[in-house]
Amino acid sequence: MTKTMAMEKMLNKADLAAWMGKLETHQLFAPMLEDEGVWNYAPVVKAADVALDQPNTVRPPKDFVFPQRETLYRFEQVRGEAPVLTETLPDPQPSVVFGVRPCDSRGLVRQDIVFTKEFDDPYFQGRRAKTIFVGQACKVPPSPNCFCNSVGGSPSSEDGLDLLMTELDGKYHVKAVTQRGADLLAKGGALFKEASASDKAAVAKAHESAKAHPQRPIKELGKVAGALKQNFDSKAWDEMAKACIGCGICTFLCPTCHCFDINDEVTCSSPCKGERVRTWDTCQFPDFTMHTSGHNPRETLGSRLRQRVCHKFQYFTENHDMPQCTGCGRCISLCPVGIDIVSVVERLGQP
Amino acid sequence: MANVQETAKDEPGFEPKIVAFLCKWCSSAGSDLAGVSRLQYPSNAVPITIMCSGSMSPMFVLSAFNKGADGVLVSGCHPGDCHYLKGNFYARRKIYLVQKLLQFIGLENDRFRMSWVSAAEGVKFAGVVDEFVKDVKKLGPQTRLKAKR
Amino acid sequence: MSHNAYLPKLGRIAAIKDEVPGNRAIKTYQIEFVSGDGFEHDCGQCAMISVFGKGESMISIASAPHVTGYKQFSIMKTGRVTTALHDLNVGDIVGVRGPYGNKFPVKDWKGKNLVFIGGGVGLAPIWPVIQTALHHKGSYGKVSVFYGGRTSRDLMYKADLDKMREQADIHLSVDAKEDGWKEFVGFVPSNVKDKAPSPDNAIAITCGPPIMIKFVIQNLKELGFTDDNIYTTIENKMKCGIGKCGRCNVGKDYVCVNGPVYSWAALKELPPEY
Amino acid sequence: MIDVAAIKAHAKALLEKGTVRAVIGYRNSTAGLLAEPFVFTGPESVDDLIYGPSCVQNLALYLVNDKKERAHHKSDDARPVAVVAKGCDARAITVLLQEKHFLREAIHVIGVSCEGTGVVDTKKLARKLGGKHAVEIDFDGGEAFAVTTADGVQSLPAAEIMAERCLECRGAHPQLADIAFGEAKTDRALHTPFQAVKHKMKEEQDNRWSFWARQFDRCLRCYACRSVCPMCYCEECVVDSIQFAVLPDTTAEEKANRIKWIERSPNRSESAMYHMVRAIHLAGRCIDCAECERVCPVNIPLRLLNTRLEMEAFETFDYNPGSDMNAPTLTSSFKDTDPNSFIR
Amino acid sequence: MTKRTGVFVCHCGNNIAATVDVARVAKEMGEVEGVIFSKDYVYMCSDPGQSTMANAIKDNKLDSVVVSCCSPTLHEKTFRDVTEEGGELNPYRCEIANIREQCAWVHKEKPKATEKALKITRAAIKRVQNNQSLTPIGVPVTRRVMVIGGGVAGIQAALDLANAGLQVVLVEKNPTVGGHMIQLSETFPTLDCSQCILSPKMVEVSKNKNIKLLTQAEVQEVSGFVGNFKVKVRQKAIYVDPEKCKICDDCAKVCPTVVPNEYDLNLTPRRAIFIPYAQAIPATYTLDESACLGLNPVVCGKCADVCEADAINYDMRPKTIVEEVGAIVVATGFDLYGKENLGEYGMGKYADVLDGLQFERLCSASGPTGGHVLRPSDHKEPKNVVFIQCAGSRDPESHCAYCSKICCMYTAKHATLYKHHVPDGQAYVFYIDIRSGGKGYEEFVQRSMERDEVMYLRGRVSKVYENNGSMIVKGVDTISGKNVEIEADMVVLALAMQPSKGTADVAKTLKIGRDKDGFLAEAHPKLRPVESVTAGIFLAGAAQAPKDIPETVCQASAAASKVIQLLSKDELMHSPAIAKVRLSHCTGCEMCVQACPYGAISLSGPNAKASVNDVLCEGCGTCQAVCLRAAIDVKNITQMQVHDMINACLGV
Ligand SMILES: Cc1cc2nc3c(=O)[nH]c(=O)nc-3n(C[C@H](O)[C@H](O)[C@H](O)COP(=O)(O)OP(=O)(O)OC[C@H]3O[C@@H](n4cnc5c(N)ncnc54)[C@H](O)[C@@H]3O)c2cc1C
Ligand SMILES: Cc1cc2nc3c(=O)[nH]c(=O)nc-3n(C[C@H](O)[C@H](O)[C@H](O)COP(=O)(O)OP(=O)(O)OC[C@H]3O[C@@H](n4cnc5c(N)ncnc54)[C@H](O)[C@@H]3O)c2cc1C
Ligand code: SF4
Ligand code: SF4
Ligand code: SF4
Ligand code: SF4
Ligand code: SF4
Ligand code: SF4
């Protein structure tokens, strides 16, 4: 997204609802508490339900641009004849996602890279173009496992966002990062006041102190890739993966993970009708790389843990000069058995 | 019953799709007898003949609902009459469990039924189907487990 | 529509030839594009073939770039899609998208002797290179082809290979003794060692089962071939073919984009996860 | 009180003498309060072994994984593997033995009684502590846990922060054990078993459906629930394989004819099918370790679902999974007196 | 998957065509994937219909066919034969879609019936397209038979088999064949002498070249399957060479130990070396190891000393004999319900309370009293004898729930015999009701009531007790409603029949089922009453249910004829539609092994995976539904096929 001149405004907390009210051209989403005690993005029905200062959502906002299931196209084929293929590019209603944490928006930046390099991905791009991400700067780490600072981010990073909101007693400081963010701001009209110098100073201070909040450290990020390469054959991979149950939590819910599977879902066998569908997949599942012959280049849990960590901290870095991890800590907090990417990097990714 | 308020479901033109799994030796033979006796019953239940009710995998039931069946019927030999000695006893236990589970997740009770029909019970077979179709008709189309396709 | 990389073009099966019978049967398909808007490809590239309702499979394009009008694929029956492909008849329509992957640097090899070493269905990916070399006679040095299978029934392109004997050295082999077999008996790597092609001004191109490739490379190196004069292709599981689904990722490479063709020198740099 | 030092000493002795090839137990995790399952292979490594209310995971799973790994590495070390087992873990091992997954002599069970308590439920604990983070939790004699937060150590009644399954546990002392630590307390105050299930059963069917439909809608199909389940040790799951079972002589047709009972799309219908098949497959095998429910990242109440048929097993068929390694399994047996009246 | 399916839709004259639009079915089925030929015809089963089908298969190179017609029970065989003979295609590539009995005949509305016929046919197409070609499994058979139990049932079966030219091994656990029948005096309803009719048969057994008799022997282990069983038999040592024994009784005379004689139900003594009775077969003395003073080392040795024939050999040892047979007949007979269970009737307490068999011995000329009915206690002639029927039978609360079937008859016989022996005595019979179904049976009972003036009292006896040295039988006469007390000199109980002691073990060894009462279970109560659930094992006599001699003999001959039928060919043909394990998916959990009704599965191989015995498997699919991982499937009705059929039925 094109960067625009910094535009900084103030919004009374109480006016958030009013601003949202003016955005009826867009569908609004924000973190909300589901019945089962899980925070997730949900459509805003009542602005009062919106709670921006809560723990981060379980599902990252990548859902909005890379949903877990996407129909690529429909097919219909009478035996022996040419099939009719119907392209089903997404045409979503424009939407605004509130409450996006900086780590998650930085995840979007990584998704952008994947879905535009070499070949364009029209499904991703179609959704990306229609979705505005409004960030929420963290004042304290929302989880004990946050480590955004260690991976080149910060609790107030603007990467991948259109707007960044920072809470300052009773008010929000709202900064437009992109033009479409600015446009969204503009819709609020008079609800927004220009940020004063002192507001700006207060925000800077808030960002500063959030950044200073202790987090889990990865010491020498610049040397991680090299060290991982060195340690490719280490026995420690197997040892550290001992507890891993090979589920997909760490990867499904990672804001940067982008792997998927493509399958045909048949709704009628004669004539053959159905959809070609892509769904999230994960390198942690054994069949991910398994050939039909049964040969599997990454058969063990250890080799799959290595793939996850090395892909994030070595391969992606080698290609794009940034780790494919934004330090949200989800994979640590949600892993059922305590596999901890920070410890792994500490152990095998340090010179 | 919760369905009372939902009688609107009882659409006039609704013809339920029912899969009837019949064991080859008793119930399928029973249905043959119903045929030979020219008994009339609704055409909604499409029979699939399996070797024995004992070979009735729970997957078949669940899959039929997933594929859009409005009702599923399983029918086998009376206890003690199994052509394969005791296949139907295994079936009874398994089907019981499946039924309890379906009820628990909230599928309407009347959508899944098991019956014992012997080769001599043509009349019973026709009756079982007749009643089942009536009961399922009352419920309307099955939407809960059906895949959106 | 054309920019949607996931959407296949339609191809009609113009011809089917049974190459190898049995449990792991191989058939060769000539597929022509239905509406003429096909694509051009280079040696070593692949295409995703779709059987709608079953799925897609990545298959090497086995015809040479100079062959126009159809693309050739030799497909081994092994799973859902390939079995469905084997069930198709001439005239049936499949989806084709591509071309994907890098290519053999054929142009750089002008004037060199080319040693091809294939096993089983692994002859297919290198076949276009062989065809190209023979097509541009004079541009390349001596062409020799080593090819083997478990039995003589497992060898594909037999008639073509026989025809080729005037232009190239053909060394066939079968794994075990067999009535009427006059050529080499033993594994392909042993045949290579036995015939000992000279590494001078030569490029070796090999493709086949992983275990075969391993020993072929070992033997080639003993013969004096250097790492950057040995080429091979690797097969990793693929779904999208365009570097997004993450499946074929090995080290920093996505095989569907950065591969499948590798010099041994380059391949050694990747983690051994193929 | 459980004497952790004694467990350690026993584990160490086993490894020193070489009577076992490894000890599966717990160690501290860097990721949070809960322990991390670990496979100890050297006597020195046992220094890291811990035992306490944070040891929630069912280690029977790691026996299953160990078997897979040994197959992969073609290991021929025939010595048994030792495993630390709570009551529920031991029940799981019993089911695995019943299903001939390993030989009894291949496993050395280090039983640990839960005595009067059990393991912690971190969600309950978090609620109890309000905003504070617990960094450590330990038994505190009798029926309390000692919880350490930034503010120091406090003693909390275990009953308030214990996992629900522990509150209902009918076998807190491992029945299957080569050596057992802790005493078999019989006077535990129990919650009525199957309370939640029975409560749910009283609801209107339509409400029950809307409840479950919402759960199925939320499922990610990350399969953590299945991956963590020691009973889901199949080479390839019938529901949706994330692993294929292939042998060298598996034919192309066999591979091509894998039945797709459900699609990979995380839809309501497909997820419902997945969870129901799993519940059916667990009938008479689920030993209520509640791990599936714990690991679910979106808090789907899987224990509620899976104990529904456990209740049937127990109450209708008088079958108690994990109590007898020599009995036939629930669905591969029957009684003449099984319910019949539901059949028309 | 097959690619060239043919569909043949039958009109069945108007039977189908009246309600099903057969032309539409044929047309729409022609459009189904993989179907290349589809046709309707007025009578598929007629000669022209069959040749149309055969030609179509050949001309179109069809690789699978569906005939949409009547029930497969009628014409599956016809069309499979056409497929094979005319079409030169494997018969298992043909499936029937039943659109007559299950569709046309039970529905009236043509559009609806047609819809259903389409679904049924489509499902059959889906199924047949994944059918495999199968060939019946041929199993070479061993033309030998083992008969277990040498009562009248075993004897009859053995003789029938031997006379049909089959080799028979007759295994009897006692020292002689004959079973219980040889203990009877006369038999109802004709009162002919039991020994007189059985002895010749016993002799025939010993003379028949085709019969190998193994007495004092029991079956230990059985392996194999129909046509090819291997049976391990253990035979006790009898320490006497039957070839040499002259049956002179010299040895018994010198034997110092005396034990009760089982043959006479312990009413007489015998020695440690003995012959059960003069007509015993094999005709030889036997040394009863357990009664002998000692053989190792020899303690007394008197018998050997006196035996002039030198027949006694103390060095004999038990033998294990392995017999290979193609079929087994089990005829292990019955025992009487234990007297210890009937304390209320004084059984075991009072010497003069007898069971039926003991009474038979008292009446028998070869019996302990030489054919005089005398009280065991004082050898006096009893003047008042009470017979109690249903002693232990028909009493689900405390004893056996079932009716022992023959007691009514033999009690009438006993009462009659008693009256013949003691004409001035009085016989009383307590009964619940009289069951006398059988040729001449009712007349027999009537005769005993009328001619022999037996007093029949309807009611149960509550107690038998002693009072001043005499036995009092206390009961109710439910007809008069009065309590009755009878002073009896002798009480005879018609004890329930139960399976003989060894039956449970034999059933276990042979892996055949037993019913809830412990009798051997027949494969089907009506249609396969002489077959066990395991192919190749047959049942005869009282081991299967209480029965009298005629019924026993009937069943024995029936079993023999079943065996003869089975072994009449060199090869047995077994249906090939059996279970097959996908080794890749099997984890060896043994659930299928537990569930298979035929014991056809066992774990085998390095990783202990399921393996199906092709011959034992009946293809029921119980295993398929039990296996969690779909690792086992029945050929040609696999889960995949049912899955496809479900889809077809639902239009997916
Ligand atoms: C670059 C490349 C070139 C290839 N060239 C040829 C060729 O010329 N001829 C030929 O016969 N085969 C070739 N293959 C292998 C072929 O792609 C697989 O055999 C085929 O995809 C198996 O699909 P299936 O649906 O039959 O198997 P299934 O097991 O039913 O399918 C499972 C999925 O796994 C994937 N998959 C399984 N095994 C492989 C594999 N070895 N490689 C890639 N994906 C796999 C498929 O995408 C499929 O979607 C090539 C593979 C690659 C990567
Ligand atoms: C008191 C009484 C009176 C009767 N009167 C009449 C009558 O008048 N008329 C009539 O028709 N019927 C009568 N019956 C019934 C008749 O006795 C039976 O029908 C008949 O004896 C059944 O024959 P069987 O061969 O089946 O059993 P059995 O006679 O019991 O013979 C079984 C044989 O098998 C042998 N055996 C048992 N177990 C084994 C083993 N494990 N291995 C090897 N051998 C074994 C036994 O030693 C025995 O020799 C009477 C029965 C009773 C009790
Ligand atoms: S790898 Fe883990 S911490 Fe990093 S972005 Fe992904 S989920 Fe967050
Ligand atoms: S690391 Fe944790 S979350 Fe990831 S696959 Fe392993 S167990 Fe699951
Ligand atoms: S763990 Fe939860 S989200 Fe994951 S598959 Fe199981 S129920 Fe679904
Ligand atoms: S759900 Fe069933 S088939 Fe799947 S892994 Fe679990 S037990 Fe196996
Ligand atoms: S039930 Fe299935 S997995 Fe278990 S032993 Fe039988 S075939 Fe194998
Ligand atoms: S099909 Fe029936 S008889 Fe055959 S192995 Fe399976 S359960 Fe046994």
pLDDT tens for residues A59-86?
Answer: 999 999 999 999 999 999 988 889 999 9
Is there a domain that residue E355 lies in?
A: yes
- Quote the pLDDT of residue B2: 38
Domains of chain C, residue spans: 9-100, 106-233
- CB E133 within 8 Å of CB E38: no
Contact D29 A340 (CB under 8 A): yes
Measured between CA atoms, how close is A241 to chain E, in angstroms? Answer: 24
Write down which residue in D191, D207, D227 finishes a domain: D191
Q: Where are the alpha helices (DSSP H) in B37-121?
A: 58-66, 87-105
The angle that helices E22-29 and E110-128 make with each other, rounded to 10 degrees, is: 40
E126 and E70 within one domain: yes
Q: Identify the band that residue B15 occupies on the pLDDT scale cut at 50, 70 and 90.
A: very high
Give the number of other Cβ atoms within 10 Å of residue B130's Cβ: 15
Touching subunits for chain C (3+ Cβ pairs under 8 A): A, D, E
Pocket flag, ligand 6, residue D237 (CB < 6 Å): yes
- Do chains D and E have 3 or more beta-carbon pairs under 8 angstroms? yes
Q: Is B58 part of a structural domain of the chain?
A: yes
Give me the residues of D, 47-66, that contact A with CB < 8 A.
Answer: 57, 61-62, 65
In the predicted structure, residue D99 carries a pLDDT above the cut 60: yes
Instruction: Kindly report the nearest CA distance between residue A305 and chain C, in angstroms.
Output: 13
Which structural domain, as residue segments, surrounds residue B80? 18-139
* Residue position matching structure tokens 């009506």: E526
**Which of E161, E156, E124 minimizes the C-alpha distance to E145?**
E161
Which residues form the domain of A164? Answer: 3-66+90-212
The residue of chain C nearest to residue A295, with distances taken between CA atoms, is: C274
The answer to whether residue A95 sits within a structural domain is yes
Q: Using a 6 Å cutoff on CB, does residue D64 contact ligand 6?
A: no
Which distant-in-sequence residues (6+ apart) come within 8 Å of E8 by Cβ?
Answer: E38, E39, E40, E41, E44, E49, E52, E53, E56, E65, E66, E67, E68, E69
pLDDT in the model for residue E374: 94
Of all protein residues, the one whose alpha carbon is nearest to atom 2 of ligand 5 is D296
Residues D121, D60 share a domain: yes
**Pair A135, A171 in one domain:** yes
Query: Which ligand 6 atom is the nearest neighbour of the CA of D239?
Result: 4
Which CATH number goes with the domain that contains A144? 3.40.640
Flag whether A229 is in a domain: yes
Please spell the DSSP secondary structure of D135-166, one letter per residue.
Answer: EEEEE-STTEEEEEETTEEEEEEHHHHB-HHH
ipTM: 0.92
CATH code at position E603: 3.30.70.20
Block residue for tokens 């005791």: B86
> How many CB contacts within 8 angstroms connect chain B with chain D?
117
Is residue B38 included in any domain, yes or no? yes
In this predicted structure, the answer to whether residue A96 has a pLDDT above a threshold of 70 is: yes
Domain that holds residue E201: 144-235+319-333+500-566
In chain A, which residues have their Cβ closer than 8 Å to the Cβ of C251? 310, 315
With cut-offs at 50, 70 and 90, classify the pLDDT of residue A47: confident
Distances (CA, A) of A277 to A70, C6, C34, D149, D221: 6, 11, 24, 48, 16
Number of domains in chain A: 2
The range of the structural domain enclosing residue D317 comes to 192-344
Contact (CB<8Å) E652/A267: yes
Q: Do A270 and E651 touch (CB under 8 A)?
A: no
Residue B12 lies in a domain: no
A189-196 average pLDDT score: 92
Contacts of D32 in chain A (CB under 8 A): 144-145, 332-333, 338
B2 in any annotated domain = no
Q: What is the pLDDT of residue E339?
A: 76
Listed residues A212, A242, A268: the one ending a domain = A212
What mean pLDDT is predicted for residues A138-143? 88
Number of structural domains (chain B) is 1
**pLDDT value at E534 more than 80:** yes
Predicted confidence at residue B44, as pLDDT, reads 97
Q: Are residues E272 and E421 in the same domain?
A: no
CATH of C9-100, one of 3.40.50.300, 2.60.120.10, 2.40.30.10, 3.30.70.2970: 2.40.30.10
Residue E633 CA to ligand 8 center (angstroms) comes to 9
Q: What ligand 2 atom has the least distance to the C-alpha of E506?
A: 41
Does one domain contain both D39 and D170?
yes
| Range with lowest mean pLDDT among E36-40, E336-340, E554-558 | E336-340
Over pLDDT 90: what percentage of chain A? 83
* Partner A contacted by C88 (CB < 8 A): no
**One domain for residues A173 and A298:** no
More confident residue, E255 or E535: E255
Q: Alpha carbon of E15 to those of A130, B48, B118, E105: distances in Å?
A: 63, 22, 25, 7
B130 domain residue, yes or no: yes
State whether E46 and E130 are in the same domain: yes
What's the rounded mean pLDDT across residues D327-333? Answer: 96
Q: Are residues A121 and A195 in the same domain?
A: yes
pLDDT at C2: 47
How far apart are the C-alpha atoms of C208 and C155, rounded to whole Å?
12
The closest CB to that of D333, out of E584, E594, E640, belongs to E594
**How many independent structural domains does chain E possess?**
5
- With CA atoms as reference, the chain D residue closest to B125 would be D344
Question: If pLDDT is split at 50, 70 and 90, which confidence band does A5 have?
Answer: low
Chains B and C touch (3+ CB pairs under 8 A): no
Q: In D, which residues are within 8 Å of A253 by CB distance?
A: 220, 222, 297
- Supply the pLDDT for residue B10: 55
- Minimum distance, in Å, between the CA of residue E7 and any CA atom of chain C: 20
Which residues, numbered 2 to 41 in chain E, qualify as contacts with chain C under a Cβ-Cβ cut-off of 8 Å? 3
Give the tokens for residue E241: 């060479």
Q: Which of D254, D255, D257, D260 to mutate to test the pocket of ligand 1 (most atoms within 8 A of CB)?
A: D255
pLDDT at B9: 53
Whether residues A181 and A289 fall in one domain: no
CA of E594 to the centre of ligand 8 (A): 11
Q: Does E597 touch chain B (CB under 8 A)?
A: yes
Give the pLDDT band of residue A251 (cuts 50, 70, 90). Answer: very high
- Using CA positions, which residue lies closest to atom 2 of ligand 8? E620
In a domain, A74, yes or no: no
Cβ of B59 and D261 within 8 Å?
yes
pLDDT tens track, chain C, 274 positions: 347 999 999 999 999 999 999 888 999 999 999 987 789 999 999 999 999 999 999 999 999 999 989 999 999 999 999 999 999 999 999 999 989 999 999 999 999 999 999 999 999 999 999 999 999 988 999 999 999 999 999 999 999 999 999 999 999 999 999 999 999 999 999 999 999 999 999 999 999 998 899 999 999 999 999 999 999 999 999 999 999 999 999 999 999 999 899 999 999 999 999 8
User: What is the dihedral angle through the alpha carbons of B135, B138, B140, B146, rounded to the nearest 10 degrees?
Assistant: -30
Mean pLDDT over A332-349 rounds to 94
Domain C106-233 sits in CATH 3.40.50.80: yes
Distance A329 CA to ligand 3 centre (A): 5
Q: How far is the CA of E178 from the centre of ligand 2 (A)?
A: 8
Q: Which residue's alpha carbon is at the smallest distance from atom 8 of ligand 4?
A: A247
**E226, E534, E578, E611: which to mutate for ligand 8, most atoms within 8 A of CB?**
E578
Residue E399's CATH number: 3.50.50.60
Q: Which residues of A touch E34 (CB under 8 A)?
A: 79
User: Are residues E441 and E549 part of one domain?
Assistant: no
Q: How far is E650 from chain A (nearest CA, A)?
A: 10
Q: Are residues E492 and E537 in the same domain?
A: no
Cα dihedral angle (B48, B51, B54, B56), rounded to 10 degrees? -30
Same domain for E361 and E490? yes
A327 touches ligand 3 (CB under 6 Å): yes
Quick check: CB of A256 below 6 Å from ligand 3? Answer: yes
In a domain, B88, yes or no: yes
Count of alpha carbons within 13 Å of A257, Cβ hemisphere only? 28
Candidate from B102, B104, B148 with C-beta closest to D201:
B104
Q: Which residues, numbered 72 to 91 in chain A, qualify as contacts with chain E under a Cβ-Cβ cut-off of 8 Å?
A: 79
Chain D residues touching residue A38 (CB < 8 angstroms): 218, 297-299
pLDDT tens digits for E217-232?
999 999 888 899 999 9
Best of D201, D202, D205 to disrupt the B interface (most B CBs within 10 Å) is: D205
Residues D186 and D205 in one domain: no
**Pair (E352, E412) in one structural domain:** yes
Question: What gap in Å lies between CA C191 and CA C172, rounded to an integer?
Answer: 8
* Domain endpoint, select from D155, D175, D191: D191
Nearest CA in chain D to B132: D344
Same domain, E282 and E347: no
d(CA A135, CA A153): 14
Question: Is C2 in CB contact (< 8 Å) with chain D?
Answer: no
The yes-or-no verdict on residue A34 having pLDDT over 90 is no
A326, part of any domain: yes
Q: How far apart are CA C10 and CA B147, in angstroms?
A: 29
Whether residue B6 is predicted with pLDDT greater than 50 in this model: the reply is: no
Q: Is the pLDDT of residue E491 over 90?
A: yes
DSSP assignment of E445-486, as one string? HHHHHHTS--EEEES-EEEEEEETTEEEEEEEETTTTEEEEE
Our answer on whether the CB atom of A10 is closer than 6 Å to any ligand 4 atom is no
Looking at B5-119, list the stretches that DSSP marks H as alpha helix, in order from N- to C-terminal side: 27-36, 58-66, 87-105
User: Counting ligands in written order, which one lies closest to the CA of residue E593?
Assistant: 7
Mean pLDDT, chain E, whole residue set: 94
Give yes or no: residues E344 and E462 share one domain.
yes
Residue B5 is predicted with a pLDDT of 39
Which residues contact ligand 1 via a Cβ below 6 A?
Answer: A 291-292; C 46, 55, 57-60, 74-76, 78-82, 121, 124-125, 235-239, 260; D 255-256
State whether D150 and D175 are in the same domain.
yes
Q: What is the pLDDT of residue E343?
A: 84
